[in-house]
Amino acid sequence: MADAAGTPVHVYSRAVLRTRVRALDAAFASYPHDLHYAIKANATLAVVREMRAEGAHADANSGGEIDVALRAGYAPDQIVFTGVGKTHDELVRAVTLGLKAINAESPGEMERIDAIARAHGTRARVAVRVNPDVDAGSHPHISTGLRGNKFGMTPAQAHQMVTSMAARAHLHVVGLHVHVGSQITSAEPLRRGAEAIAGLATALAAEGISLEHLDVGGGLGIAYEPGQIVLTEAEYAAAVLPVVRPTGLRLVLEPGRWIAAPAGVLLTRVVDLKAQADGRWFVIVDAGMTELLRPALYGAWHGIEAVSPRAGAPIACDVVGPVCETSDTLGKARHLPPVDVGDLLAVRDTGAYGAIMASNYNRRPMAAEVLVDGAAWRVVRRRQTIDDMLQWDE
Ligand code: LLP
C-alpha cells in the first residue's frame, strides 16, 4: 500500500473508526443523547461520512466545517456550530441554514445572532457557551475552560444573557454548552464542566426558562503512551450522566480525538541515518511537522514503530523530519529495531489532529490519505501536487 500510495501517507482504519464511535454511543445508552463528532479532529470527507453512517451527528467550528458536514450528507439540524470568532458571514450562513444550535461565545455574539435572525425573518437556535473556570489538566494550549481563556461566558454572565434573551422573538435559547479542553485524562474536569451547565439549567428551570439540551463538548483523552492512565468511555459516562440526569435534558457530546486518533497511523519512510556525537542516531524520515504538528506544537508523544522490524539490537535514536526546524522532531530519545534507508515506520494515533493540522511549510505538498477496509484500501484524499500548491499564486 505504501508503495502504491507513496509516503508520507495518513492511513485510517474504517473498522476502528466505526468501533470507537459505537463504543462511545453505547456507554451513554442509558440516557437520551446525541454524539456530534467534532469535525475539527479529522475533516476528511470519507472519515466524516463514516461517522454519519454510524449515526453520529456533527460539531463544526467554522464555515468550512459546516460545508464539510453538509457535503458529508448531514442535515442542518444535525449540526452544532461553535467558534470563538464567528464572522458575520458565518453567522448569516448558520442562521439561514437553521442549524441545531449556534453555540454563542459572548453577549455581543448573541446580539448579532438576534439581529441577523430578525433581518432574515427567522428564529435562530442558540446555546450559550459557559466558561466554568475549570482546569482541564491537559496541555495549556488545549485547555479552554479557565477564566483567563478566550472561550465562553462566566456562569453569571450566561445566566443573565439567557434570562434577558428569553423573550426575544428571533432568538430561541435551546441549550447550554461547555468544553473545558482536550486530551483530558481524569474525570474531575469533565464532571465539573457538566456540573456548571447542569446547575445553571436547574436555576433557569426554576425561573420558568426551559431548555432542550446540555452540550458537554468533547475532550476525552486517549493513551498515547503505553501505560498512560486515561478514562474509559464507561468512566466518562459515569462522570457525566449522574450530573446531567436530574435535569432531564437531552445530552449532546462533541467527541473528536477519542474516536479518530487511534484509527490513524502516519506511514513514513526513512530517508537518511546519521550518527550523533553521543552514539545515538538521527533517523531522518520523509514526514515531519508538516504532516504531524503535535510533537512540535505541544511536545506530544506518539508511538513510532518499524512496519517490518529487522532483527538485531535496538538502536537509540531521535526520529526527525526533513523540515528546517529543530522542532521538527517526531520522536525524541526512542528505541527502534535497527533501521535502514527505505524502511517504513508507522507513527501511531495520528487519526485526530494529524492530517487536518498539516501545512505546506517548506512548500511540501500535503500527504495522501488512505482508508483501509479489511483487506481493501482506497485513497480518500489524494496527495497534493506542486501544481495544486501553487494554483493560487499569481
Ligand atoms: N468541542 C469543542 C468546542 C472543541 O473546541 C473541541 C476541540 C472538541 C469539541 C473536540 O475535542 P476532543 O474530543 O477532540 O478533545 N489540536 C489539539 C487539539 C485541539 C482541540 C480543540 N478543540 C491537539 O492536537 O491535541
Out of 313, 324, 375, 386, which one is annotated catalytic?
324
- What distances in angstroms separate CA 161 from CA 119, 126, 128, 270, one per listed residue? 21, 11, 8, 56
Cell numbers for 75, please give them: 442535515
Domain that holds residue 287: 2-8+262-390
Domain assignment present for 83 = yes
Which one of 151, 257, 347 would you pick to mutate in the ligand 1 pocket, going by the greatest count of ligand atoms within 8 A of its CB?
A: 257
Q: Does 209 fall in a domain? A: yes
CATH of the domain at 294: 2.40.37.10
Tell me the backbone φ, ψ of residue 189, rounded to 5 degrees. Answer: -60, -35
- Cα separation, 261 vs 230, whole angstroms: 14
Q: What is the largest CA-CA distance in the chain?
A: 73
- Which atom of ligand 1 lies closest to the CA of 257? 14
Q: Do 175 and 269 belong to one domain?
A: no
- Do 105 and 244 lie in one domain? The reply is yes
DSSP 8-state code for residue 365: P
What is the residue-averaged pLDDT of the chain? 96
CA distances 248 to 4, 125, 197, 206, 391, Å, are 53, 19, 13, 14, 53
Q: Which amino acid is at 24?
A: L
The predicted-structure confidence for 206-259, as pLDDT tens digits, reads as follows 999 999 999 999 999 999 999 999 999 999 999 999 999 999 999 999 999 999
Kindly state the DSSP code that residue 245 receives in the 8-state scheme. Answer: G
Give the CATH number for residue 124.
3.20.20.10
DSSP assignment letter at 382: P
* Tally: H helices and E strands in the chain: 12, 17
Is 19 a domain residue? no
Residue 99 maps to a domain: yes
Q: Does 267 share its domain with 209?
A: no
pLDDT for position 150: 87
Q: Are residues 92 and 229 in the same domain?
A: yes
If you measure from the C-alpha of residue 181 to the centroid of ligand 1, how many angstroms do you get, rounded to a whole number?
7
Angstrom distance (rounded) from CA 293 to CA 261: 14
Instruction: Give CA separation, 319 vs 143, 264, 285, 343, 352, in Å.
Output: 28, 19, 7, 13, 20
* CA distances for 26 relative to 143, 186, 379, angstroms: 27, 20, 30
* Domain boundary residue, one of 255, 274, 293: 255
Residues with CB under 6 A from ligand 1: 38, 40-41, 59, 82, 142, 179, 182-183, 217-220, 254-258, 294, 298, 352-353
Contacts of 153 (CB under 8 A, 6+ apart): 105, 106, 107, 128, 129, 130, 131, 161
Grouping H, G, I as helix, E, B as strand and the rest as coil, residue 38 is strand
**What ligand 1 atom has the least distance to the C-alpha of 184?**
15
Q: Does any domain span residue 57?
A: yes
- For 130-185, how does the pLDDT look when each residue is reduced to its tens digit (9 = 90+)? 999 888 888 888 878 888 888 889 999 999 999 999 889 999 999 999 999 999 99
Give tens-digit pLDDT for 270-286.
999 999 999 999 999 99
Helix (H/G/I), strand (E/B), else coil: 237: helix
Both 224 and 280 in a single domain? no
- Per-residue pLDDT of 282-298, as tens digits, reads 999 999 999 999 999 99
CA-82 nearest atom, ligand 1: 3
Question: What does the pLDDT read at residue 147?
Answer: 81
Cell of 233: 468511555
Between 143 and 86, where is the model more confident?
86
DSSP state of 94: H
To test the pocket of ligand 1, the residue of 40, 59, 79, 233 to mutate (highest count of ligand atoms within 8 Å of its CB) is 40
Residue 294 in contact with residue 76, Cβ under 8 Å? no
Atom of ligand 1 nearest to the CA of 260: 14
Instruction: Select from 225, 255, 285 the last residue of a domain.
Output: 255
Question: Cell 432531564, residue?
Answer: 248
Q: Measuring from atom 22 of ligand 1, which residue has the nearest CA?
A: 182
Rounded to two decimals, what is the model's pTM?
A: 0.97
Beta strands 171-177 and 315-320 are unpaired
Q: Are residues 180 and 86 in the same domain?
A: yes
C-alpha–C-alpha distance, residues 364 and 290, integer Å: 7
Whether 215 and 272 map to the same domain: the answer is no
22 located within any domain: no
Find the 39 Cα to ligand 1 centroid distance in Å.
Answer: 9
344 found inside a domain: yes
* Residue 296 alpha carbon to ligand 1 centre in Å: 17
CA–centroid distance, 353 to ligand 1, in Å, is: 8
Query: Is residue 108 over pLDDT 90?
Result: yes
Look at residue 141 in the predicted model and tell me its pLDDT: 85
Alpha-carbon span 33 to 256, nearest angstrom: 16
Position in ligand 1 atom list of the atom nearest CA 142: 19
Same domain, 68 and 175: yes
- Do residues 47 and 128 share a domain? yes
pLDDT tens column, 49-82: 999 999 999 999 999 999 999 999 999 999 999 9
Number of domains in the chain: 2
The alpha carbon of residue 285 and the mean position of all alpha carbons in its chain are separated, in whole angstroms, by 26
Residues 384 and 360 in one domain: yes
Name the DSSP class of 153.
B
Q: What is the pLDDT of residues 347-390, one digit of tens each?
A: 999 999 999 999 999 999 999 999 999 999 999 999 999 999 99
Chain centroid offset of residue 186 CA: 18
Same domain, 240 and 352: no
User: What does R_g of the chain's alpha carbons equal in angstroms?
Assistant: 22
The C-alpha atoms of residue 285 and residue 120 are separated, in whole angstroms, by: 53
Ligand 1 centroid – CA 38 distance (Å): 7
Q: Are residues 286 and 145 in the same domain?
A: no
Q: How far is the CA of 377 from the centre of ligand 1 (A)?
A: 28
Q: Rounded to an integer, what distance in angstroms lies between the CA atom of residue 39 and that of residue 301?
A: 22
Question: Is 317 noted as a catalytic residue in this protein?
Answer: no
CA of 160 to the centre of ligand 1 (A): 27
The pLDDT, as a whole number, for residue 184 is 97
Distance CA 56, CA 252 (A): 11
Domain boundary among 227, 255, 283: 255
Q: For residues 317 and 297, give the distance between their C-alpha atoms in angstroms, rounded to a whole number.
A: 20
* Best residue for ligand 1 mutational test, from 47, 129, 182, 186 (most atoms within 8 Å of Cβ): 182
Position of cell 453555540?
103
Instruction: Using the atom order of ligand 1, give the atom closest to the CA of residue 218.
Output: 13
The answer to whether residue 16 sits within a structural domain is no
Q: What angle do CA 314, 320, 324 make, to 5 degrees?
A: 160
Q: pLDDT per residue over 289-336, tens digit each?
A: 999 999 999 999 999 999 999 999 999 999 999 999 999 999 999 999
